[in-house]
Amino acid sequence: MPISNKELLEQKLQASGARITKPRKAILDIIATSEHPLSAMEIFERAQTQAPNIGLVTVYRTIDTLKSLGLVDHIHGSEDCQTVFRTASGHRHLLSCTDCGKSVYFDGVLAEKEFQRIGREHGFTVSGHLLQLFGLCTKCKGE
């Protein structure tokens, strides 16, 4: 049986030396199961149903730890630049719905080659980039 996103986050967090407390489990569950990037406040509000005594500082510290471990990415939303989304394995890019916020990672191998070509054309060696595409998902496009 494949390992769930939540179990993977728990294992990697625990391997880093962090304790897996009830508040952290709630945070990991919320991040692992969300199809949308979430702000720290959204995570905090959702986590209160599972861990009523959770503190906002715990949410921020857990996000910082997950970010340092490469387990979440800071995502730039159309309105909020302070959201996080679980990371994908390998180098991926993100496609986000501007209506409902649903987000998915996609492989950008062809885009990578184009970025290198653009860099060379302008006398640069490209060493990194940020790429996030916005549009409407199938569900929102149909409504």
pLDDT tens-place string over residues 83-138: 777 776 666 788 888 888 888 888 877 888 888 999 999 999 988 777 788 899 99
Instruction: Name the nearest CA neighbour of 67 among 45, 40, 105, 49.
Output: 40
Q: Which residues contact 19 (CB under 8 A, 6 or more apart)?
A: none
Instruction: Starting at the earlier edge strand, list the strands of the sheet with 92-97.
Output: 103-107, 92-97, 132-135
Could you please state the CATH topology (level 3) that the domain comprising 5-86 is classified under.
Arc Repressor Mutant, subunit A (1.10.10)
**Cα 107 to Cα 78, 117, 135, 136, distances in angstroms:** 21, 18, 17, 19
**Helices 5-15 and 56-68, axial angle in degrees (round to 10):** 80
Task: Locate CATH 1.10.10.10 in the chain.
Answer: 5-86
Task: Locate CATH 3.30.1490.190 in the chain.
Answer: 92-142
The tens digit of pLDDT for each residue in 6-54 reads 888 888 888 988 889 999 999 999 999 888 889 899 999 999 999 999 9
CATH homologous superfamily, domain 92-142:
Ferric-uptake regulator, C-terminal dimerisarion domain (3.30.1490.190)
